[in-house]
Structure 1
Amino acid sequence: MSLFYRQEHTTCYNYQLQPEATFKVLQFKKSQKLQLLEVEHSVIVFLLEGEALITCNSYKDQIHKAGEIALLPRNSCCYVSLLKDTTILSCSFVQNIDFCSRFSFEHLLDFLPKKYVYNFKKLPVREVLNLFFTLVKRCLDDGLNCVHYHELMQKELFIILRAYYTKEELATFFYPLLGKGMGFKDYVMTNYLSMKDIPDFAQQMNLSVDTFKRRFKEAFGESAHKWISQRKSELIYRDLVVSEKTLTEITTDYGFSSQAYLSTFCKKYFDKSPQELRDKGL
């Protein structure tokens, strides 16, 4: 069945927001060539069909099969290798969304196992969630792209997660977004790509450098320098092996004063020059 009064729908200004849509259907053909995934907001990814190897930050080549959901945190370094023809339904969301009026993201911290070690946790898609994803895809395929529809379906998704998954499952799944001082953590994940250095970051948050470092360690479990350098190295590697950016563009994008400094950075983290990494990825 197609939409009634299609012109009324598609000419409404609420349909002009499609590039910012919460839900998207992505289709890929089987390919050895890596596909870049831009993750400006945190994204829940559901494979409707197919199989892929997903790299997300330091978690390399994680097998993702149909019938599973995975989490890609905002501004993370993500790309995929398609093992089969693959159809993905993705849902992006902002950090402050809650499961319902009685249960928020912050509550999940109380349900993490002691000494939990995250390893790109995926969850099985249970029957009700599968029905939900199937309906959303059908509506999107029919052209139902109203921003209000996306907002309502996002709320429904989180209510379904709240109802059909244990709090322990949700805590381990959303672990990368959790931490002491979630507002601080969210600000860091949103802005770390645009900050020059740690003193600049601290100044933007109206904190002393020592206070910033302390709060960072509490939120992320490691030093600011180590975490930011690791994220930077992952993104540089991605751009070298997946993107078509020139070495000059990569040098500029990541704040290096010359390609020589980019080369020094790559040799430190990967024991290869930028060109060697690029040749390896071709």
Structure 2
Amino acid sequence: MLDQIRCTKYTDCASCSFYQKHIFKYRSYPKGVLIPQERVLQNTMYFLLKGEVRVNSEEHPDTIFREGQFILQPVGSRVEFQILEATEAILYLFERPQNVCNERYNKSISMASAGHVGPVVMDTVQPLHNFLYGMKSFLDSDLRCSVFLQAKQTELLFLLNCYYPIKDLAAFYSTIYRYSKSFQYFILQNYQNVKDVEAFAQLGGYSVPTFRRLFKDTFGEPAYQWMLKRKCQDIHVDLLTTDLSISDICYKYGFESLSNFSHFCRSNFGQSPRAIRAEREEGE
């Protein structure tokens, strides 16, 4: 009888400035669908309400997860899904793990950053199961107020924190830290080979917004600002410690002319390239 009771919704969230599409999503697919490999644009938890799915990614190679289970794919990773049985899923998208309990959060972050090898497929406990089916009904009703969804986000984090051991949560979140480390390595290996943020994003196969977001999460400052600092540091080191000519240094860092290079040095160091080079010669 209760299943037949339907609530009347008197609000139109889609017309509100607080309407939010990108925290929780509901997805359903028939058996046999192949979702080709694509890059994940935000850290995403995939909660399977029904069905069976084969996942192929670096984090979950040829891994099957089923109804009542969930996995995590970190931002920037590439993943392919093969729908083995008709599937319903709730997706939760987020920037970074959030703190709802200082002691457990600090312990799990410390353990997660130490790394974990192998796929992690989690089982849904009953309180989380109830939450997910509630979210499905809210999403079906298009109840997407950002304030409401942020409250549901906090509820989800409390459920994960309260009903799962720290070591399991640490293993679950470790893919984010492992991917961040590989992203950091990619940046440090290639920042001297690109002219600007757009070229850097293209080199890594990212959209520019995703690259900027992931970069700031990893390095704590905007990509352009970080790249400019590094460029200044490297130019200064070359002028003071190498035998490269000023012309060689100018073109090494992509300047179109010596006058442009000189203007850059005056703006960032308060001196011309020749004046900086003279400091080395005076100290010898």
Shorter-chain TM range is 0.5 to 0.7
Of 200, 204, 207, the match for 2:227: 204
Contact (CA 8 Å) 1:67, 1:124: kept in 2 or not? Answer: yes
Give how far 1:154 is off: 1.0
| Distance across 1 between alignment mates of 2:67 and 2:152 | 21
RMSD: 3.6
Q: Which runs of 5+ in 1 are unaligned?
A: 212-282
Task: Report 1:95-114 matches (<5 A).
Answer: 95=96, 97-98=98-99, 100-103=100-103, 105-111=105-111
Q: Tell me, yes or no, if structure 1 residue 6 matches structure 2 residue 23.
A: no
Q: Taking structure 1 as reference, are residues 154 and 58 closer, same or farther at Cα in structure 2, changes over 3 Å only?
A: closer
Contact (CA 8 Å) 1:97, 1:104: kept in 2 or not? Answer: no
| Distance across 2 between alignment mates of 1:2 and 1:37 | 38
Give how far 1:176 is off: 1.3
Deviations 1:185-206 (A, max 9, x none): 38947x969x992435796284
Q: Taking structure 1 as reference, are residues 54 and 176 closer, same or farther at Cα in structure 2, changes over 3 Å only?
A: same
| Distance across 2 between alignment mates of 1:137 and 1:4 | 15
| Distance across 2 between alignment mates of 1:151 and 1:93 | 11
The residue aligned with 2:213 is: none
Contact (CA 8 Å) 2:48, 2:88: kept in 1 or not? Answer: yes
Deviations 1:84-119 (A, max 9, x none): 111110101111522x152475531444698x6421
Q: Which runs of 5+ in 2 are unaligned?
A: 1-5, 195-199, 201-222, 235-284
Task: Report 1:247-266 matches (<5 A).
Answer: none
| Distance across 1 between alignment mates of 2:106 and 2:39 | 26
Contact (CA 8 Å) 2:42, 2:75: kept in 1 or not? Answer: yes
TM-score (norm 2): 0.60
Task: Report 1:1-282 matches (<5 A).
Answer: 1-7=6-12, 9-15=13-19, 17-18=20-21, 21-31=22-32, 33-57=34-58, 59-95=60-96, 97-98=98-99, 100-103=100-103, 105-111=105-111, 117-178=116-177, 185=180, 188=183, 197-199=190-192, 200=194, 204=227, 206-207=229-230
Contact (CA 8 Å) 2:113, 2:177: kept in 1 or not? Answer: no
Letter in 1 for 2:227: Q
Question: The residue matched to 2:134 in structure 1 has which SS?
Answer: helix
Contact (CA 8 Å) 2:59, 2:119: kept in 1 or not? Answer: no
- Structure exhibiting the larger radius of gyration computed from Cα positions: 2
Contact (CA 8 Å) 1:51, 1:64: kept in 2 or not? Answer: yes
Contact (CA 8 Å) 2:116, 2:174: kept in 1 or not? Answer: no
| Distance across 2 between alignment mates of 1:47 and 1:158 | 17
Question: The residue matched to 2:26 in structure 1 has which SS?
Answer: strand
Question: The residue matched to 1:118 in structure 2 has which SS?
Answer: coil
Question: The residue matched to 1:50 in structure 2 has which SS?
Answer: strand
| Distance across 2 between alignment mates of 1:102 and 1:117 | 22
Q: Taking structure 1 as reference, are residues 178 and 103 closer, same or farther at Cα in structure 2, changes over 3 Å only?
A: farther
Q: Taking structure 1 as reference, are residues 78 and 141 closer, same or farther at Cα in structure 2, changes over 3 Å only?
A: same
Contact (CA 8 Å) 1:106, 1:178: kept in 2 or not? Answer: no
Question: The residue matched to 1:120 in structure 2 has which SS?
Answer: coil
Q: Taking structure 1 as reference, are residues 173 and 96 closer, same or farther at Cα in structure 2, changes over 3 Å only?
A: closer
Deviations 1:239-267 (A, max 9, x none): xxxxxxxxxxxxxxxxxxxxxxxxxxxxx
TM-score (norm 1): 0.60
